[in-house]
Chains A and B, each alone.
Chain A
Amino acid sequence: MAQSAQGLGGLTYDASKKARPPELNVFLALVLIVAAFEAIGRLLIGDSFLFNTRDNVDTLFNQQRLQIIILQVAIVGIIAIGVTQVIITGGIDLSSGSVVGATAMVAMSFAQTALVNGQPNPKAIFGPGFMDLPVIVPVVVGLACGLVAGLVNGALIAYTRIPPFIATLGMMVFARGFSRWWSNGNPISFPTESYAAIGRGMMPVVIFVALAVLFHCVMTYTRYGKHCYAIGSNEAAARMSGIDVTHHKVLVYTLAAMLAALAAIVLSSKNLTAQAGMGVMYELDAIAMAVIGGVSLSGGRGSILGTVLGALIFGVIISGFTFLKLDAYYQEMVKGVIIVAAVVLDQWRQRSRLQG
C-alpha cells in the first residue's frame, strides 16, 4: 500500500518522518570522535589511538587503552544510569556527587579491618566490635544511606512541589557537609579483603554494564519505565490518566540516590579509602553523560543505551587528551563546551520538530 494513500479521507501520515533513533546519532558521534583522535594522533605524534602499535603484543586494538576508557567512566556511569531516569521524568538530581561522598564515608566505616600489618587500624572509626564485619554490612549500610537521601529528595519534590533543582541542591550541600562531619574531615581507610574485592580490577565495568542492561530492560519493558516517559512528556496528562505521579517521583529519586550509593561503594573499594571530598562534580559529569547521550533535559526523551554511549564519548575524550599529552585543564574546558553543545543540539532538535 502506498504510504501517502493511507488514512481515512485523505488523512495522510508521512512515514518517512519516522525519526532515526537518537542513539544512532550518538553512536556516530562516538565513532567520529574516535576517528578524529586516531587521525590527529597519527599526524601529530605518529601514534595510533585505537590500534595496537607495540610489537611484543599480539592484538589488533590497544586493549589497555580501551579498558581504561571504560574503567574511568564506569563509576560515574553507574550514577548516570539513575540520573537518566530522573531527567526522563523531567527532573534533575544535583545531589549524586555528595551522596557518593557521604555514602563512601559511612560504608567504609563499617568495612574496616581490625589489624593493619599486625598493628591496630590507625584510621579506625568505630571500636573493635565494628571491625572485620562481613561485606554485606557495609554494602547494606551504604545502600541505606542512598535510600534515605533519595527518599528525602523525592518526598521534598513530590509533596512540597519545590523544584527538583532546589531540593537536590539542598541535599548536595547537606550531604557534603555530612561527609566532612562524619570523621572530622579525616580519611577512612584499610577495608577488609572482601570489601576491597568489590571494585578491584575491571569489577566496576562489570557492575556498570550489568546495571545498564538491567535498567535498560526496566525502562523499556516495565510500567515504571513507561510512566517515567509519560510524566516527563506531559505530567498533567499522566496525572489525568491515573498515574500516581507523587509516588512515582519518590521512587525515581530513591533509585537514583541508591545507584549513587552503589557507585560510592565501588569507588571507595577501588580506592581502598574514603574521603570527604569524594565524588565532587560527579553529579555534573553524570548529567553531562546523559545529555551527550541524547537524554532531553526537558524530559520524556532519552534512554539508558544513549547514556552508556554518552559515557563512552566522555571516556574517549579524556583518554584522547591524555593520549595527545594535552594538559588536564583542557579536558575540563572541552567537557564544558561539549555539555553546552549537546544541550544546544537538543534544543535545535525540538525546534525543528515543532516546525514540522
Chain B
Amino acid sequence: MGDIVLETRGLTKHYGGVHALEEANFTLHAGEHVAVVGDNGAGKSTFVRQVTAVEQRTAGQILFDGREVHFAGPLEAREAGIETVFQTLALADDLDVPSNLFLGREILKLRLGPFSILDRRAMRARTLEALATTAVKIPSVDNPIRNMSGGQRQCVAIARTAAFASKLVIMDEPTAALGVQETAQVEQIIRGLKARGVPLILISHNLRQVFDLVDRIVVFRRGRIVASLRRDETDGNDIVSYITGVKGTEGAHA
C-alpha cells in the first residue's frame, strides 16, 4: 500500500459517562476503500463525526495528509479535502442540481462581493461532467430537486461529494433508505471513485455491499476497533463473529 492518507491514534470520545469511542487506531492508505461495520451504537458514526469535526474529540490524534489536524468544524475538514455524505442530506430542495452541487462554492463570472455574477453555464456544464464521471443519470438537471425521488436526491448528494473529492470521501450509510436500483447506482459511483484512486471510508450495515466494494473491513464493537481484515482474508461469517463479539474481545490496530 502507498502513502497513508488518514491515521487516527488513540481517538477517544466520551459523552459524559458514555464511552462511545475508545482508543481507535485507524489507518487509511492512498486509493484504499475501507468499510466500517458494527452493530448499532458500536461507535461507527461517532468515529466519523470526530474525523469530520462535526464533534470535537475527547482525546487522541488525527493525522490527515501527513500532518496532525485540529479542524474546528466540518467546513474546515471539507476545505482540507475531506468530503462527507451524512445520513441526513444536506441539500436545498428548491434549487436545481447545479446549484446544489456548487452550493457555497459557486463558479463566478464577475467578482462583485456578495453580488458576484454566477457563471451558470459553466456550473451546468461541470455538473453534467460530474454526473457523467459518477455515472449518475438525471434527465433534467434544471428542475428543483424537490421533484426527485429519494434515490435521485441521494445520488445528487453523492455526486457532489464525488465531484469535489480530492483527498478523501466518507459516506455514512449512503444506501440505507434506497431501493435496489438506486443502491446499484450508488455502488456504481463508489466503483468510479475506486477507479479514480480516491480513498473512501464507507459505513454500511450491508455486508454483501461491503464485500462487493471495499479492500478492507474494519469492525467496531462497543466503541473499540476489534478487527481489521482484508476482504480476501475473511468472509461474512467471520465478520459477523467479530460484530457480535464471538471473536476478537481484545482491541486491534486497524
Contacts and interface: CB of A to CB of B under 8 A. Distances in A.
A222 B105 CA distance: 13
B118 A251 contact: no
A11 B182 contact: yes
Interface in B137-159: 137-140, 143-144, 146-149, 151-152
A13 B138 contact: yes
A13 B140 contact: yes
Contacts of B89: 237
A8 B135 contact: yes
A251 B112 CA distance: 14
Interface in B62-84: 74-75, 78
A8 B90 contact: no
B30 interface: no
A328 interface: no
A11 B75 CA distance: 32
A229 B106 CA distance: 14
Chain A residues touching B, majority SS: helix
B138 A238 contact: no
Nearest to A230: B92
B108 interface: yes
A218 B115 CA distance: 7
A15 B95 contact: no
Interface string A298-326: 00110000000000000000000000000
A251 B114 contact: yes
Interface string B87-108: 0011111110001000111101
Interface stretch (A102-110, A198-206, A239-247, A340-348): A239-247
B152 A248 contact: no
Interface residues of A, number: 36
A334 to B, nearest CB: 31
A16 B148 CA distance: 12
Contacts of B137: 6-8, 11
A3 interface: yes
A17 B144 CA distance: 11
A126 interface: no
B117 interface: yes
A251 B114 CA distance: 9
A353 interface: yes
B56 interface: no
Contacts of B139: 3, 6-7, 13, 15
A10 B181 contact: yes
Given A221-B118, A226-B95, A237-B92, A15 B104 contact: no
Contacts of B117: 221-223
Contacts of A251: 114
A223 B116 contact: yes
Nearest to A300: B94
Given A9-B184, A13-B148, A18-B147, A222 B115 contact: yes
Among A11, A13, A15, A227, chain B packs the most CB atoms within 10 A around the CB of: A11
B166 interface: no
B45 interface: no
B99 A237 contact: no
Contacts of A57: none
Contact of A11 (B93, B140, B152): B152
B221 to A, nearest CB: 30
A240 B89 CA distance: 11
A19 B142 CA distance: 11
A240 B74 contact: yes
Contacts of A230: 92, 95, 99, 103
Nearest to B75: A242
A346 to B, nearest CB: 13
A13 B108 CA distance: 30
A16 B188 CA distance: 27
Nearest to A9: B181
10 contacts: A11-B149, A13-B149, A223-B114, A224-B114, A226-B95, A226-B106, A229-B95, A237-B92, A240-B75, A241-B103
Given A229-B92, A240-B74, A300-B94, 12 more contacts: A8-B181, A9-B184, A13-B152, A15-B140, A223-B108, A224-B116, A229-B94, A230-B92, A233-B93, A237-B103, A240-B90, A242-B105
